[in-house]
Structure 1
Amino acid sequence: MKPWQLVAFGLVLGLLAAAIILLVILRPIGQPIAILPAPTLSPIMVDVSGEVLNPGVYTLQPDSRVMEAVAAAGGLLDGADVSRVNLAGRVQDGDKVWIPAKGAAAGETTQLPSRSSNIAINLNTATAQELETLPGIGEVKASQIVAYREEHGLFMNLDDLLNVPGIGPELLEKIRPEITLSN
C-alpha cells in the first residue's frame, strides 16, 4: 500500500471508532415517547324519517353520511324524492334526516301545526305564515327561511337554519324545541 492510502485508511478507521464511542457515551436523555392507541370515537345517534322503510333513531359511526343513515332505516321507499336530499352529506350526533315524498311541494304540509299544541313546525314544509308563529320570527325572517329553502333545498339538520340571514345561534336555540325537519 502506498503511504497516502494508509493515511486515508487510518482516518476512516479513526472516524468510525470515534462514532462508536460517541454512540455508547451519549445515550438518549429523557423519557421515551409513548405511542398511544388512536382514540375511539363514540357512535352517533341520528333520527331518520320520511320516505324510508323503517323510520326511527339509529346508531351510526362518526362521520357517517346521509345515505348510511337511510340504509340503516331500511332504505328508501318508492315514493322518496332523493333529488331534494344530499345523500352524500355528513350527519352529526342528534341530527334529523328527513326524506321527502315525490310530488310534495316545498311548502306543502299534511298537518298544519297549532302553536297552542306541542306539534313542532316542520322547517321543510312550513309556510311563511306558520313560521311567523315561532318566537322571534317575524314576516321578514319567515320569508327569508322560505326563500333559503327554495333556493338551497330542504334543511338537512336544524343547524342549517344558521345559514339564513338574520338567524343567529341565540335565536336558533330559542326556537329549536318548536321546530323539526319531519312531520
Structure 2
Amino acid sequence: MTVHVTGKIHKPGVYQLPSGSRVTDAVTAAGGVSRGASTGSLNLARRLIDGEQIVVGGAAGQAAPGSPITDPAASAVLDLNSATTDQLEQLPGVGEVLAARIAEFRNSHGGFATVEQLREVSGIGPRKFDELKARVRV
C-alpha cells in the first residue's frame, strides 16, 4: 500500500508499506515526529488505507494545505479486488459479516469486474450500494 506522510515529520513523502500496516508504521517510515510535534491528534494504532494521507502535528482531521481530504480514512477509495476485510469494514455500513461476504464473493468469482457487481453480494441492497459505489473501485 502507498501512503503520503506529511506535516511535522523528519522525512515527509510517499511511502510503500506492507498491507495491514498502521499509522505508527507510516510515522516510523517517515523518520519519526519532528522535535516538539505532537501525535495527539493521530490514532497511531489505526490500520492504514491505500492512498491515504497522514498529517503529523495537525489538528484532528486536518489535511495538508490545498488538500480536499479532511479525514483520509473516511474519504479513501478502496479497490474491491485488493482491500482487506479490515479495510472493507471501514466503509459506511460495512461490518465484519458484510466485509467477509464481499471478500468471499471476490474469491469465488475471480475478483470484481465492475463496481456494480457489489449488488450481487448478499446484504447489499440498492440503498447500501448507493452509499458504497463512490467509495470503491475495481
- TM bucket, shorter chain: 0.3 to 0.5
Superposition TM-score, scaled by structure 2 size: 0.48
The higher radius of gyration belongs to: 1
Superposition TM-score, scaled by structure 1 size: 0.38
